[in-house]
Every structure is written in structure tokens, then in C-alpha cells.
Structure 1
Amino acid sequence: MKLAGIKSVENAHDESIWAAAWVPATDSRPALFLTGSLDETVRLWRPDELVAASPPSRGHSLGVVAVAAHPSGTIAASSSIDSFVRVFYVDSNASIATLEAPPSEVWGMQFDPKGTVLAVAGGGSATVKLWDTSSWQLVATLAVPRPDGAKPDRTGSGKFVLSVAWSPDGKRLACGSMDGTIAVFDVARAKFLHHLEGHHMPVRSLVFSPVDSRVLFTACDDTHVHMYDAEGKSLVGAMSGHVSWVLSVDASPDGAAIATGSSDRTVRLWDLGMRTAVQTMTNHTDQVWGVAFRPPGGTGVRVGRLASVSDDKSISLYDYS
């Protein structure tokens, strides 16, 4: 497996790019790449040329910290420091709903695999909020408990939830916190199951394996990437290679690799069979906030793609093979 750089776009936004996600292909268009920036805009990019697919969206009054795409490819969501989540149609940019979140209450979000629920990691409220995507009503609030004997984290509240991920079967939800713990929930019962431990610094990104609903990958400020059995509560592997915070992680659609982005300015590709980094890309000149593999699907798509975004305002696109 390897990455090959295809293209980089400098000054893709006017300020740091903190959020990125692929919008799946539809019957009428290929997949698009979605980015959110501290310049308060959300932008859509065509997948191979990295040219703007539409004018920038200006629906927020402060920086955009998270974006998410619905599995249908027709709608997407963006969240901002302005305390709102904006839901919109991808092709027209028309707003569908505005979800209110108190200050610093949204640091990560993701649609479930069926597209019926949007999970929002609730920052200092120490919760994950679940929104029904047909009515845009709040249907559940999952409280993230502190582990027994845990010390309060730097927020003083004991919990600050940064990241969220759905298992590919939609049955489990995992969220990462500032204190390094990962909470796993049974979504159908809205029930907390257990913590996964091993990190002791902020877990800013996590993702389940697309081919095994038990396997969870986590990216942490402690410079390590962990691989967990989320059902058995066990740490399966710890991978090291980055020399600073690991800010983002995503799994390849074939389940054979993960990619990570770090404040050490690199993107790394990891072979899961070997559990080691097999390639380091140095396209960026500042910390890498997002890495995302293009989802499968769409006409004429034969090769894999990975994209990365950075504080340096640039987007890089790679061929994954």
C-alpha cells in the first residue's frame, strides 16, 4: 500500500482549515470534498481537480470546527464556535435546519450509517446529543460518565467531549474526551457500556474499522494511535511514529490501512497488518487537522483517494493504492 501526491491547493481558505469530510457520490455527481475553516466558511471541492464546486458557504458568524456528510450525499452539516450547527443541501447550499448548541458544545459530529441520526459531541456538557434527521428534533442525550477514580481534566468539569464515531453497523457510538478516555454506548438502548483506557491526553479523533464493527482506532495528543476491541474493552495495539499530537485519523475503505494527521505537520499511512507506519507525507507546513479517505461508490471510480487539511490553509490530495 502507498500514497502518491496528486495535487495541493494553497490558500484554499483564508484561515486555518480545521474540518474535512467527503460527501458521498449521488446518481448525478461524483463524491465531493467538504472543508470548514476558521474563516467562517464551508467549501465544496471537486474530487480530482480540487477546484471549487460552488461558491463558499457563509452560514456561520465564527470559525467552523466540524463538518459531516449524510451517507446519501445530499445533505451535510457544519458546526461553529458561534454555537450553531447548520444543516444544508449539498447541491444548492439551502439551509434545512439550524441546531442550537451552547458555547463550545460542538467539537465533532457524524451521521449514523443509515443517515437517520446526527451525533454531536457536546464539549463541556460531557454529552453526546442525538438529532433525528427527519424532524431535526433532539431525540437523546448520552451522558459521558467519568471513570472511577479519575482526576478532573483541564476544563475543571471532569469531562470535555471532543470526538465521536459510529460503528459501521450503527449499533455502537464511541466518543473521545479531553482526559484521554473513550466512552462506548449502546445506541438503541441509549446506554453507556464502558470506557476504553490507555490514553492520558485529549483524544481528538476516532474511527471504527469499516470492515469490523468491533475495531476502533483513536488519535491522541500523547503522539500514539491506539487500536481497540471496542466490545471486549481491550487495547489491541499501540502505534507510534508521530513526534507530536495526533489530531486526526481515518480508516481506508478496504480496512487495510489508516491515515493520521499530526501537529508534527505530517500525514502518515499505517499498515494494519504490520501495525506500523509505512509512509510519511510532508506536503503541509503546519499542523494537519483532518485526514479523510474518499468513500467507495460513484461511476468510473477505480482508485482510492485520501485528502488532508491543515493550519497552513492548504488541501492535499493523494492517490491511495
Structure 2
Amino acid sequence: MKLAGLKSVENAHEESVWAATWVPATDTRPSLLLTGSLDETVKLWKSDELDLERTNTGHCLGVVSVAAHPSGFIAASASLDSFVRVFEVDSNSTIATLEAPPSEVWQMRFNPEGTMLAVAGGGSASIKLWDTNTWKLAATLSIPRPEGPKPTDKTASKKFVLSVAWSIDGRRLACGSMDGTISVFDVARAKFLHHLEGHFMPVRSLVYSPVEPRLLFSASDDAHVHMYDAEGKTLIGAMSGHSSWVLSVDASPDGAAVATGSSDRTVRLWDLNMRTAVQTMTNHSDQVWGVAFRPPGGVGVRSGRLASVSDDKSISLYDYS
């Protein structure tokens, strides 16, 4: 497996680019890259050329997270302005505006069926589940406090939720917190199951394997990438190589690799059989906030793609083979 740099767009946004995801292909168009920036805009880019398709405005503070519905027709962007905007991808018309008090949205993801949007609730130490038919709040999954003495304000703030991920079968939801713990929930029962431990600094990004529902990958400020059996509560492997915070992780569609972005300015590709980094890409000149593999599918789409976004305002696109 390897990455080959295809294209970079300098000054893709006017400010740092903090979020990226792929909008799946539909019958009428190929997949698109969706990026969100501190310049308050969301942009859509053509899949292979990285030509700008459209710029969406509507937020009045920086965009910190973007998510795409599995149908490819709708997407969502979350901003520091305390709102989540849900919009039609092809027309940019707003479908719903979800209110989230200050610092209540850090990351969000649609479930594989597209029936729920999970929003990592920042300082509320919870995940909010929004029903995508009605755009009403369906459930709030609260992260239990650790047992022991009554938590002080200091320990309470460490439960700030930074990241969220769905298992490929949609049955489990994992979230990563500022204190390094990962919480796993049974979604159907809206029930907390257990914590996964091993990190001792913020867990900024999580992704489940696209081929194995139990396998979860985490990226942390402790510079490590962890691989868990999320059902058995076991740490299967810890991978190191970055020299600073690991800010983002995504799993390749074939389940054989993960890619990570770091504040050490690099993108790394990790072979999961060898549990080691097999490649380091140095396209960016500042910290890499997002990495995203393009989902398979679409007319005439053969090769894999990986995109990365950075504080340097640029987007890079790589061939994954």
C-alpha cells in the first residue's frame, strides 16, 4: 500500500482548514470533497481535480466540523457560532438549523443508515442524537463521571467531548474526551457500555473499521494511534511515529490501513498488519487537522483517494493504492 501526491490547492480557504469529509457519489454526480474553515465557509471540491464547485456561507464564526449523509444528498456543518447547519449538497438550500449552546459541538457524524446525526457535545459531556427525518433531538447519551470522590470543576471539564464515531453496523457509538478516555454506547438502548483506556491526553479523532464492527482506531495528543477491540475492551495495538499531537485518523475503505494527520505537519499511512507507519507525507507546512479517505462508488471511479487539510489553508489529494 502506498500514497502518491496528486494535487495540492494552496489558499483553498482564507483561514485554517479544520474539517474535511467526502460526500458520497449519487446517480447524477461523482463524490465531492467537503471542507470547513475558520473563515466561516464550507466549500465543495471536485473529486479528482480539486476544482472548486461551490462556496457555502451561512455561519458567522469558524466551521469546526463537517459531515456527509450516506445518501450523498445532504450534509451538515458545525460552527463556533453554536449552530449546526444541515443543507442540500447540490442546491445549498438549508434543510434544518440545529441549536447547540456555546462549545457544544466539536465533531459530528451521520450513522451508516442515515437516520441519525450524532453530535459530540463538547462541554455538556454528552452526545446528542438528532433524528434526520424530523430534525428533532432523539436522545442524549451522557458520559458517566468516573467513580470516586466528587469531581471538581477541573476534572469535570476534562470530560469535554471532542470526537465521535459509528460502528459500521450502526449498533455502537464511541466518543473521545479531553481526559483521554473513550466511551462506548449501545445506541438502540441508549446505554453506556464501558470506557476504553490507554490514552492519557485528549482523543481528537476516532474511526471504526469499515470491515470489522468491533475494531476502533483513535488519535490522541499523546502522539499515539490506538487500535481497540471496542467490544472486548482490549487495546490491540499502540502505534507511534508522530512527533506531536495526532489530530485526525481515518480508515481506508479496504480496512487494511489508516491515515493520520498531526500537528507535526505530516500525514502518515499505517499498515494494520505490520502495525507501523509505512509512509510519511510532508505536503503541509502547518498542523494537519483532517484526513479523509474517499468512499468507494460512483461511475468510473477506480482508484482510492485520500485528502488532507491543514492550518496552512491548503488541501492535498493523494492516490491510495
Offset, 1:153: 8.2
Question: Counterparts of 1:92 and 1:154 in 2: how far apart (Å)?
Answer: 45
Does residue 14 of the first structure (1) align with residue 29 of the second (2)? no
Does residue 60 of the first structure (1) align with residue 68 of the second (2)? no
Q: How does 1:201-280 map to 2 (within 5 A)?
A: 201-280=201-280
Offset, 1:146: 2.4
Offset, 1:147: 2.8
Listed as ranges, the gaps of 5+ residues in structure 1 are: none
Partner of 2:72: 73
Does residue 103 of the first structure (1) align with residue 106 of the second (2)? no
- String of CA shifts for 1:164-190, please: whole Å, max 9, x gaps: 000000000000000000000000000
Offset, 1:53: 1.0
Offset, 1:158: 4.3
Offset, 1:157: 3.1
Partner of 1:33: 33
Supply the AA of the counterpart residue of 1:17: V
- Is this contact kept in 2: 1:131–1:137, CA < 8 A? yes
- String of CA shifts for 1:26-47, please: whole Å, max 9, x gaps: 0000000000000000000001
SS across alignment from 2:163:
strand
Question: Counterparts of 1:220 and 1:152 in 2: how far apart (Å)?
Answer: 24
Supply the AA of the counterpart residue of 1:218: S
CA distance change for structure 1 residues 221 and 31 in 2, over 3 Å: closer, same or farther? same
- String of CA shifts for 1:70-113, please: whole Å, max 9, x gaps: 00000000000000000000000000000000000000000000
- String of CA shifts for 1:112-150, please: whole Å, max 9, x gaps: 000000000000000000000000000000001123349
Partner of 2:133: 134
Question: Counterparts of 1:173 and 1:233 in 2: how far apart (Å)?
Answer: 14
Give the number of aligned pairs: 320
Question: Counterparts of 1:46 and 1:75 in 2: how far apart (Å)?
Answer: 16
Offset, 1:291: 0.1
- Calculate the TM-score normalised by the size of structure 2: 0.98
Question: Counterparts of 1:153 and 1:204 in 2: how far apart (Å)?
Answer: 21
Offset, 1:66: 0.2
Listed as ranges, the gaps of 5+ residues in structure 2 are: none
- String of CA shifts for 1:186-226, please: whole Å, max 9, x gaps: 00000000000000100000000000000000000000000
List structure 1 runs of 4+ shifted beyond 2 angstroms. Answer: 146-158
Question: Counterparts of 1:235 and 1:149 in 2: how far apart (Å)?
Answer: 24
Aligned-residue identity in percent: 80
Supply the AA of the counterpart residue of 2:275: R
- Is this contact kept in 1: 2:158–2:177, CA < 8 A? no
Question: Counterparts of 2:258 and 2:164 in 1: how far apart (Å)?
Answer: 17
CA RMSD of aligned residues (A): 1.1
Partner of 1:288: 288
